[in-house]
């Protein structure tokens, strides 16, 4: 009898990140790479997964390499998929200690589990510059203020929670706006300081369920407005999400809860 040839695939976990009361969180698929994989294959896997972000983890010395892909493109930063990756390392794989380090396109990121069970990740702080509301092409209706948030994102402030929830954003108009993430925010939300919605048509995501990287802009805006370095944010998407953030001089710690929905293996 001929020898049986077996090729093992890459383990994966479907993780809901930033879950909470009345919040189902944002699904991310975390794939643990057992061998080097080309970019084209990574993109194909992310396309097959069909969630807003698929994260690829690979051991790199004492830390981990981490990359993020939407179904259509690789991105420079993703908060919820980083939180999901931290959850996989600490909960599913049981790695030693309560902290992890990730080499990414946005530099070295770190994450940890707190005593209260929340997971926290450090993301680079964005610096805000006021811009004219015309950059949004009227797609969000009447807005109070608009800011350029770092090199790639826009933050728009709307009147109130009802206005935010009632937004019917035109994806074509948003695609033409000069930002990868278009963040709409307002003061006040159920059990939160601020509510947001996030649109990312340029990344192949019409509306993101929960967006940890949005805190890079929202936390500095809130600190300037309220004088508080801490903020609780509810994302008013169909799934809903709950995030806790603390602003530091150069970074924002974004915290929340995560849970594994399913696990399996990528074959091929």
Residue 151's pLDDT is what? 85
pLDDT (tens digit per residue) in 5-57: 334 479 999 999 999 988 999 999 999 998 889 999 999 999 999 999 999 99
- As a whole-number percent, the residues of the chain with pLDDT over 70 amount to 97
What average pLDDT does the structure give for the chain?
93
All domains of the chain in start order, with CATH: 10-123+255-266 (3.10.310.10), 128-250 (3.10.310.10)
Residue 255's pLDDT is what? 98
- As a whole-number percent, the residues of the chain with pLDDT over 90 amount to 82
Cβ 53 vs Cβ 28: under 8 Å: yes
Residue 268's pLDDT is what? 62
Min mean pLDDT across 5-19, 136-150, 169-183 is at 5-19
Residue by residue, what is the 3-state secondary structure of the chain? CCCCCCCCCEEEEEEEEEEECCECCEEEEEEECCCCCCHHHHHHHHHHHCCCEEEEEEEECCEEEEEEECCCCEECCCHHHHHHHHHHHHHHCCCCCCEEEEEECCEEEEEEECCCCCEEEEEECCCEEECCHHHHCCCCCCCCEEEEECCCEEEEECCCHHHHHCCCCCHHHHHHCCCCEEEEEEEEECCEEEEEEEEEHHHCEEEECCCHHHHHHHHHHHHHHHCCCEEEEEECCCCCEEEEEEECCCEEEEEEEEEEEEEEEECC
pLDDT (tens digit per residue) in 199-224: 999 998 999 999 999 999 999 999 99
Structure tokens at 5: 């040839």
Mean pLDDT of 162-172: 91
Mean pLDDT of 50-70: 95
Residue 158: is its pLDDT beyond 70? yes
Residue 96's pLDDT is what? 80
Instruction: Check 53, 62, 129, 142 and give the catalytic one.
Output: 53
53 is catalytic: yes
pLDDT (tens digit per residue) in 83-125: 999 999 999 998 888 899 999 999 999 999 998 889 999 999 9
Binning pLDDT at 50, 70 and 90, where does residue 162 land? very high
Residue 257: is its pLDDT beyond 70? yes
């Amino acid at each position: 009898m001929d020898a049986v040839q077996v090729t093992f695939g890459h383990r994966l976990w479907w993780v809901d990140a930033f879950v909470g009361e009345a919040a189902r969180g944002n699904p991310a698929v975390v794939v643990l790479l057992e061998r080097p994989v080309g970019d084209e294959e990574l993109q194909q896997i992310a396309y097959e997964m069909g969630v807003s972000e698929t994260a690829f983890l690979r051991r790199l010395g004492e830390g981990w390499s981490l990359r993020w892909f939407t179904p259509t493109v690789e991105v420079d930063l993703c908060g919820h998929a980083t939180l999901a990756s931290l959850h996989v390392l600490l909960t599913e794989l049981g790695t030693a200690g309560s902290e992890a380090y990730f080499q990414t396109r946005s530099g070295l990121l770190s994450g940890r589990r707190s005593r209260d069970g929340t997971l926290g990740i450090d993301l680079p702080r964005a610096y805000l510059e006021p811009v004219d509301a015309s950059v949004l092409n009227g797609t969000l209706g009447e807005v109070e203020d608009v800011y350029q948030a770092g090199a790639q994102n826009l933050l728009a402030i709307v009147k109130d929670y009802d206005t935010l929830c009632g937004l019917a954003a035109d994806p074509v108009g948003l695609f033409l706006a000069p930002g990868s993430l278009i963040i709409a925010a307002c003061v006040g939300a159920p059990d939160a300081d601020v509510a947001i919605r996030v649109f990312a048509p340029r990344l192949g995501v019409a509306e993101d369920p929960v967006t940890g990287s949005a805190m890079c802009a929202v936390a500095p805006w809130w600190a300037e407005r309220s004088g508080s370095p801490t903020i609780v944010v509810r994302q008013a998407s169909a799934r809903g999400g709950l995030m806790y953030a603390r602003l530091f001089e150069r970074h924002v710690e974004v915290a929340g809860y995560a849970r594994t929905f399913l696990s399996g293996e990528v074959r091929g």
